Amino acid sequence: MSRALSTDLRDTDAIPYFLWDDPMTVRELVEHLARASASERFRTLGRILREARDSDVWRFTTPADVNRHWDRISPHLGRRREFWRWLLDGWRQDGLLRG
């Protein structure tokens, strides 16, 4: 029996709504990000930034991490690339991010 997708990302046994096509629990996603190769980690982060609500992204990464690895993450962002570029640029201009 398959489990329903969830917006409750505090529940480590929940399947995040943005992983509709490759379901894994929040716990499995966190473990995957910690253990995956660099290229797979950046692909997965790109997927999170592309598919998750903006506020939910920060459960899995930080603005500094996205900023630091922008060149590796941005090719995976699709239609959301310009939004994230705009947001990071604004944070840099406001002095909230370096580089």
DSSP symbols for 52-94:
S-HHHHTTT--HHHHHHTHHHHGGG-GGGHHHHHHHHHHHHHT
**Residue where the block lists tokens 């910690």:** 34
Domains identified in the chain, total number? 1
Q: Structural domain of residue 38, as residue ranges?
A: 5-93
pTM, to two decimals: 0.92
Does a structural domain hold residue 70?
Answer: yes
pLDDT band, very low/low/confident/very high, at 99 (cuts 50, 70, 90): confident
Mean pLDDT score of the chain? 95
Q: Kindly state whether residue 61 falls inside one of the protein's structural domains.
A: yes
pLDDT tens-place string over residues 19-64: 999 899 999 999 999 999 999 999 999 999 999 999 999 999 999 9
Residue 84: inside a domain = yes
pLDDT at 2: 65
Decide if 99 is inside a domain: no
Domain for residue 56, yes or no?
A: yes
Query: Does a structural domain hold residue 98?
Result: no
**88 found inside a domain:** yes
Residue 1 has a pLDDT of 44
pLDDT for the residue 72:
98
Decide if 46 is inside a domain: yes
Contacts 24+ apart (CB under 8 A), 83-92: 84/49, 87/54, 88/63, 91/63, 91/67, 92/67
